[in-house]
Amino acid sequence: MTPLLPQRRHQSSLEGIINFSGPKPFAVDERAGARRRFYDIINHFDTTDNDKRVGYRRPRFVRYTYEYSRSELSQDTFLRAFFEFMKLDVAGEEDIDFLDEDVENQLGKNLITFADFLLDNFFLPLKASGRHTPQPSPAHLSAIQRAQGGIHEFTGTPDRISVLRGSCLVRDRHRCVISRKFDQQEAIIRLTQDGNNAQDDEGNLLRGQLSMILEVAHILPHSLTQANANCLLDDSKKAALMILNMFDCNVSHLMDGNNIDRPFNAMSLTQPPSPRLLAIHHAIAHILHLSGVGEYIDNILRDMEETGVQEDGSTELGRIMKLRLGGWLGGAVGAYG
């Protein structure tokens, strides 16, 4: 039988546990063993996961998050965090005895905890693109920190959206990267100044060209590093960045301070968008789609906006209230029969 590790004693605050650098890769045989035991756990609980009340399959969600982690080192870091949450020795070689009811029940609970931690502190905030994320527990953050090892402090960003928009429009020659329509605000300025002789960035006459008001779309949302009233990142933002850094090792430096509002993290642009951030966005989209978590999150937000709280208990009230209390959603929670 594989013994579960005793619960580690965690510090009561987040001070000092968000720092990390230099996650260590597994040796080849260690990686093979960790992967085997990971899939043993995931496949076992994916087969037995028949709780339709949840709205998505947690084992599948964890599996796809692992598989779409951006590098072998990122996957190694993910496995370290996974086994920390499961309270199993990542270097253990014993087969897991799922016939032991106590072991199976505890592993199942730990898997739920890990999946919900990823959802509540990264995927849900990222997709909702709100102002504040649900607060993570120090114990769970400690598990991620131990998987990553080291020292890195995240820096918040002030609001620089207007500057970003101007930089992106110059880079994209004031055109939408999809429709190629010219920016309407810039067109009005040029037509006011030059009349019928006004030209676009390529020297063609603007008169008769289609235009629209263009907005800048972040690849990873501005709110991810938006500072609070004290110009600091709160714990929830640090948690999201820490999970992002686990998902793609050492990518967090691209998000530090004002970097998140630089043209490489936006879609409409003098320098092109970052292929690395686009790849992360692409991977997250795949995870949300394949695991069903994307639809699950959409349903949560739609319930909040359209139907309120249902008396039959079908509404994810806990997560809605976390979003509400965290400042993500405005208005009151309604109740409908």
Which whole number is the average pLDDT over 9-36? 64
SS3 of residue 69 by DSSP: coil
Helix H or strand E encompassing 335: strand 335-336
| Contact predicate 145/242, CB 8 Å | yes
Whole-number pLDDT of residue 324: 61
What confidence category does residue 192 fall into, taking pLDDT thresholds of 50, 70 and 90?
Answer: very high
Phi, psi of 18 (to 5 degrees): -90, -10
pLDDT tens-digit map of 119-153: 988 898 888 764 333 344 445 555 555 665 554 55
pLDDT tens-digit map of 265-295: 876 633 567 889 889 989 999 999 999 999 9
pLDDT tens-digit map of 309-325: 555 555 577 777 766 65
Which whole number is the average pLDDT over 296-311? 70
| Contact predicate 184/213, CB 8 Å | yes
Alpha-carbon distance of 198 to 108, in angstroms, equals 66
Domain spans of the chain, in order of start: 1-156+228-258+273-337, 175-212
pLDDT above 90 as % of the chain: 33
pTM over 0.85: no
Looking at the predicted structure, is the pLDDT value of residue 55 above 80?
A: no
Partners of 310 in the beta sheet?
336
Of residues 157 and 194, more confidence is placed in 194
H helices, E strands: number in the chain: 12, 4
Classify residue 55 as left (phi > 0), alpha (psi -120 to 50) or beta.
Answer: left
| Contact predicate 315/321, CB 8 Å | no
